[in-house]
Amino acid sequence: MSEPIIWHNPRCSKSRQTLAILEEAGLQPAIVRYLEDSPTEAELRAALKLLGVGPKELIREGEAVYKELGLRGATDDALIAAMAAHPILIERPVVFHKGKAALGRPPESVLDIL
């Protein structure tokens, strides 16, 4: 059985809770600290496709860099480029498992793909 992958920020309570849910399910996910190992634009596009959402649903509009870059009203391509360049903009955590993906907000939502 392939183990899940989690785009994880250990400083985020939702990310820690999601990781705990995976571990309680007996899984040992591969942990990608996406702030240090940023996903590429292609990886972000693949994640969005698996999540079934657009970039507006994966971007953190409350981050200062969102406002600094003037991203309100930006194109999807511009949002994806901004997330690749500034991974703090990526909503977290994202879990990938068996060709599916889920956003851990709330953390229990990842149970749907396990």
Per annotation, catalytic residue among 1, 2, 9, 12: 12
**Distance from C-alpha of 57 to C-alpha of 89, rounded to nearest angstrom:** 11
Catalytic residue at 12?
A: yes
- 105-to-9, 13, 92 alpha-carbon distances in Å: 13, 11, 8
Positions annotated as catalytic residues are 12
